[in-house]
Structure 1
């Protein structure tokens, strides 16, 4: 059924869930199980995202087909202009139509990897407006779909347009045939309500569905809000600052905050429908809906303090009937930083080993379990976010080293491989990281050895209070092939005490791990729970990140003229260096990894360039 019809028929609050196609086959299969569980919460529909540059096109179509046809859940398929021409747009729309999908969210999309600016592949598809206009003017598709479009209450990240100009663009999309609006995530309810009143006064009367992102971890919150240009009220910043080292408290706060925001939007804005950006996670959304009293309870809410902090669950009431979406007014138309492997910060952890419903409860870094649906978590509406380099453009290898050292020393707060400042955890091994960087081994991920510190430790703690956390030391860096060969030989001689993975942009892999070996490098033991392994290193997850890491060099190089020295430098690094991960299994000795690198192998004496 078309969503606009379902909106009109809804007699109470309603909600939709958003998922992205996982990056691995295992994650894809397990996401279907997760979706089937969340379907019990009776969402009005689910959304399936379309990756930047059409990077997940096939996966998006496959997942949307399964959810619509096999699971019988009304599905909204995202569709972007990026890398699309008329033929590919038609193919995507036909594929959606064939499996019964009747809802499309039309988006412009982000630039493809390796391109600095968004340039249309087909000049007929430059904006989301063009997609809407094309579909509505097509004899084949004009009445086949309900069309949704995006709106940005805090402004579109990177936009040069004023708010009034952006509202003009939004109205043009609606006037061209958009049936409903889904907003980007926001946390400033006062600003959203002001914006909502403003677009209503400009004659935009179609349903507006606010985007809600439950905060999962402090690091992922920082990353997503920065990339989306989201305004964060000072009160929320202060609240999170005081609990950012306790993952359980951050997750609980995210649930409480979402409940409070939704209640305000219902009571003050007259809104009935909400769009949950799940990031392929499930527990927070389930708990939010249970507290609101909007969905049947399937599990006991573990933290009663959440419910107490937001009050008893109540059915929503409206105080502003003029803004209620009804047929009458609807038209037809890290902080984890480098030490917690930040470059691709996302919700990629692993929960209790044998209970899939609890995966990702305490995501703690990039190297999650490839079986997890949230492995390689994407940013909203289009792939991994682009990171703008901080500081002057480099022209020599020494410039790259200087930039890396400035970041490690805290002179700059971000650089291409980390969107957030170096974490406090990194200070425990900072002399070693600086030593690597000075030799031209540019570290991009690491963690110190940890042997049973309390889970509420301000530096390395994570998960629920009352537990203990452990970490095997590892470091990740870019190096020349000669250094990779030297490492490979040395690691082969220590008989399993140290493992490594090394890959280059050409797709070559060198490793001491077998294909099926999985190395848990971060784990925790908590009262009343099984052991939680939140960070796992193995071949598939490493290769997934390796591809992303080398694409960052491409992104960086794209900011230079093709014939410039900077472009040649960065593309040369991309094509000749290897990404290397070295893990030492002695988590009880904080110096074991560094003694192996600097003394046993003698890297200080090696040619590092």
Structure 2
């Protein structure tokens, strides 16, 4: 794949990039300090902290940002869903992301993402947009065939796909081609690891909670090594995704930046890249 990229696509991706955060006690303060109002911020769900932590951060940010809480299906009691939806609507939330989640389902919770999506459908689609998960690379705990079939089954209940974090732009392109050949037309938000410090990333994993930390490390067992590899660059990766974004049939909706709560560094990188694009555009226009 060529390293050349259309600056207009890159600027478009950077301007509308979504920022994923973890629901820690201080994260809302960091967002307010470093992220301009109006941006989209997604809030993950942690089995160790409970859905309450996700809701608390959503409440702290909802008046200034487009907040997308993660509604992890296996963390939600079935009889609590109507109250949860009403609460989120009261906060002005119009979009949610529905993964299965890492919690162990019980007889009173939803069993998987599709289970919850069907229930939301029966409630009359209370949210304008609903995101589901996509996996450009193999998931350590789910067979590829199951992943593909699951995304197909969920497509009718969703409006967007958010890809899991990946490091290979060529693999993203090949995956998007396969998705489109199957007739899945939803916009895809490409998951991108922010320019994070691997040592801080490891400390962040330990802050999530003992059980979650183990699950996090198991699911992302290659993340630390690959982020630390000299050959990987968030900047280079994003520029190559910008080249893919110029292909209309792939329907890339934007970037989904995994910040791991290194918000100041991630946002500084994004602004720096926008500045570089602006300078390039100014030089091309000339005096």
TM-score grouping bracket, smaller chain normalisation: 0.7 to 0.9
Q: Which digits, 9 at most, give the CA deviation of each residue in 1:371-405, with x for residues without a partner?
A: xxxxxxxxxxxxxxxxxxxxxxxxxxxxxxxxxxx
**Equivalence for 2:259:** 278
1:136 to 2:112 alignment:
no
Residue 209 of structure 2 corresponds to none
| TM-fit CA distance, 1:202 | 0.8
The Cα of 1:79 is off from its aligned counterpart by 0.6
| Cα deviation digits, residues 118-158 of structure 1 (max 9, x gap) | 344437x211111111101114xx24341111112112221
What's the CA shift string for 1:76-98, capped at 9, x where partnerless? Answer: 01111224221122222121011
Instruction: Call closer, same or farther: CA 1:180–1:258 in 2, change over 3 Å.
Output: same
Matched, 1:101 2:93: yes
- What is residue 5 of structure 2 aligned with on the other side? none
Matched residue, 2:34:
38
CA contact (8 A) 2:195 2:266 kept: no
Matching residue of 2:21: 19
* 2:122 is the counterpart of 1:158: no
In the other structure, the counterpart of 1:65 is 59
SS of 1:192's equivalent in the other structure is helix
Shift in Å, 1:238: 4.9
Please report how far the alpha carbon of residue 66 of structure 1 lies from its aligned counterpart in structure 2 after TM superposition. Answer: 2.4
- Asked whether the equivalents of residues 188 and 253 of structure 2 are also in contact (C-alpha less than 8 Å), the reply is no
Is the alpha carbon distance of 1:42 and 1:291 closer, same or farther for their aligned partners in structure 2, counting shifts above 3 Å?
A: farther
For residue 208 of structure 1, what is the aligned residue in structure 2?
A: 188
Would the alpha carbon gap of residues 47 and 186 (structure 1) be closer, same or farther in structure 2, given more than 3 Å must change?
A: same
Distance 1:230 1:15, change over 3 A: farther
Aligned counterpart for 1:146 among listed residues 129, 148, 151: 129
Residue in structure 1 matched with residue 69 of structure 2 by the alignment:
77
Correspondence for 1:51 among 41, 46, 50: 46
- Structure 2: 5+ residue stretches without partners: 1-10, 206-212, 247-251, 282-287
Question: Structure 1: how far apart are the matches of 2:273 and 2:140?
Answer: 31
1:122 corresponds to which of 108, 115, 133: 108
Cα distance in structure 2, aligned partners of 1:268 and 1:110: 31
Q: Is the 8 A contact 1:154 1:229 kept in 2?
A: no
How far residue 292 of structure 1 moved from its aligned partner, in angstroms, is 2.2
CA contact under 8 A between 2:20 and 2:257: conserved in structure 1? yes
**Matching residue within 77, 80, 92 for 1:88:** 80
Secondary structure of 2:151's counterpart equals: helix
Distance 1:235 1:33 in 2: 30
- Retained in 2: the 8 A contact 1:84–1:121? no
Report 1:279-318 matches (<5 A).
279-293=260-274, 314=280
C-alpha distance in 2 between matches for 1:15 and 1:122: 36
CA distance, structure 1, for counterparts of residue 159 and residue 123 of structure 2 = 16
Partner of 1:198: 178
The Cα of 1:42 is off from its aligned counterpart by 5.4
**TM-score for the superposition, normalised by structure 1:** 0.38
SS at match of 1:52: coil
| Aligned equivalents of 2:264, 2:88: Cα separation in 1 | 29
Any conservation in 1 of the 2:19–2:259 contact (CA below 8 Å)?
yes
Q: Which has the higher helix share?
A: 2
Aligned partners of 2:278 and 2:12: how far apart in 1?
18
Equivalent pairs counted in the alignment come to 252
CA-CA distance at 1:12 after TM superposition: 3.1
Instruction: Give 3-state SS (helix, strand or coil) of 1:210's partner.
Output: strand
CA distance in 1 between counterparts of 2:115 and 2:126 reads 16
SS in 1 for 2:17: strand
- Aligned partner of residue 50 in structure 1, secondary structure: coil
Unaligned runs of 5+ in 1: 1-10, 112-117, 241-253, 298-306, 316-609
Q: 1:205 to 1:314 in 2, by over 3 A?
A: farther
Larger radius of gyration: 1
Question: What's the offset of the Cα at 1:275?
Answer: 1.1
1:239 to 216, 219, 230: 230
TM-score (norm 2): 0.76
Contact kept? 2:30, 2:264, Cα under 8 Å: no
Q: Which has the higher contact order (CA 8 A, sep 6+)?
A: 2
Query: Are positions 1:217 and 2:210 aligned together?
Result: no
Aligned partners of 1:150 and 1:182 also within 8 Å: yes
